[in-house]
Structure 1
Amino acid sequence: MNLFNMLPLVSPVAGSWTPNFDFEQILSAFLVLFAVIDIVGSIPLIVSLRHRAGTIQSEKASLVAGALLIAFLFVGERMLSLLGIDVYSFAVAGALVLFFLAIEMILGIEIHKIEEPKTVSIVPIAFPLVAGAGSLTTVLSIRAEFRVENIIIAIILNMIVVYLVLKFADKLEKILSPGVLNVLKKVFGIILLAIAIKLFSANLNLLINIL
């Protein structure tokens, strides 16, 4: 299976659009979002927040984060059109964001510092930990490569993973040592870096062709 065999997005036409589910696209979109959200790497932070707040509403956090991602998938392009920006330009910009996120994950450096929030309800779990700038940018960026229905399924699958991690964060922290978490973070960082380069080159070519 070729992870990077990305098919172009086909916009639905009223009255003639039918879902076209593609397992390869779903898997690719799932891995991209999984790497960007990095919920496994956030387990120590989640455990810390749980200790301070006493409890985390796993269901609510997952539902809100998923709703934000899906909403941005549909509304984000309209917002861009109002600003006079096409989806390919945004995808190129998004690929650069993914590139730097991957560099952070691989090298263990901090390029963009985010202050730790002081509340532990929907904020910061649903936003910005799960549905943050990186994942929102990613959702709109990969729309230039994948069909919408496949991205939605990938989002839902990721929210299931998010729910399970939030629900069993304490147990997972005991199972996964800091060393294992660090290795996983670097592995998904390399995957994310490769995807960012592919996303950048593909959309840059499309952008040059339409100019």
Structure 2
Amino acid sequence: MKLDIREIGTASMILFAVIDIIGSIPIVIDLKKKAGHIQSEKASIVAGILMVMFLFVGAEILKLIGIDVNSFAVAGSFILFFLALEMILGITLYKDETPETSAVVPLAFPLIAGAGTMTTLLSLRSEYETVNIIVAIVINIIFVYLVLKSSGKIERFLGKQGINVIRKIFGVILLAIAVKLFATNIQNLFK
């Protein structure tokens, strides 16, 4: 168990692309308008706890239902692939009902710690040291908190076009991650 700056950096960038909090700013702003207040601290802490818990017990839960990590990672690569397509093409393949409040449920889960994030955590665990993934989670949660706290300022600064450009760039990164995840884990399935 050793800290590796390269692993922390890579895991942080992967989680940053999957969580896509910058791309979620329009959703956050919409929630803020409807509810009048965003619970930034609570949402960030709950999302962080969910992510760390899934990092440790996610594989055991999968074993309990008879699914190996490689199969889950291949399935997750499809989720990441479609998330990336949504980001790049500006389409919506999956639409959840708009939440009524800005409580923890719509923000912490599924917006921050959703299915894509959980899948990514298990995939990262098969490639990186757990301590480096935890540091990457903490870095991302701090960033998520800062973005939630200053979502209005960020929207005014970047504008709609700026947010769209950032979303498309991270969509391409996410697409590449999905392809790598699929290739690595599909090979492990047939060994």
Task: Give the TM-score normalised by structure 2.
Answer: 0.95
Matched residue, 1:5: none
Once the two structures are superposed, the pairs formed by residues 111-150 of structure 1 within 5 Å of their partners are 111-150=93-132
Aligned-pair Cα RMSD in Å: 1.2
Question: C-alpha distance in 1, partners of 2:29/2:186?
Answer: 41
Contact 1:30 1:158 in 2 (8 A): yes
- Find out whether 1:182 has 2:164 as its counterpart: yes
1:105 pairs with one of 79, 84, 87: 87
Distance 2:34 2:85 in 1: 31
Deviation at 1:103, TM superposition (A): 1.0
Q: 1:68, CA displacement in angstroms?
A: 0.4
Partner SS for 2:66: coil
SS at structure 2 position matched to 1:111? coil
- Cα deviation 1:60-101 (Å, max 9, x = unaligned): 111000000110111110011011111111111111111111
More helix by share: 2
| CA deviations over 1:90-117 (Å, ceiling 9, x no partner) | 1111111111111111111111221111
How far, CA to CA, are the matches of 1:162 and 1:137 in structure 2?
19
In structure 1, what is the equivalent of residue 75 of structure 2? Answer: 93
Q: Indicate yes or no: 2:136 matched with 1:154.
A: yes
Q: Which is greater in Rg?
A: 1
Mapped partners of 2:82, 2:41: distance in 1? 31
The secondary structure found in structure 1 opposite 2:91 is: coil
Moved over 3 A (4+): none
What percent identity do the matched residue pairs reach? 57
Aligned to 1:170: 152
1:131 is matched by which residue type in structure 2?
Answer: A
1:29 counterpart residue number: 11
Structure 2: 5+ residue runs without aligned partners?
A: none
- What are the ranges of 5 or more consecutive residues in structure 1 without an aligned counterpart? 1-18
Segment of structure 1 superposing worse, 71-80 or 199-208: 199-208
Distance (Å, rounded) in 2 between the aligned partners of 1:89 and 1:45: 31
Aligned to 1:174, the other structure's residue is in SS state: helix
Distance apart, 1:158 and its partner CA = 0.5
Alignment-derived partner of residue 24 in structure 2: 42
| 1:20 maps to 2:23 | no
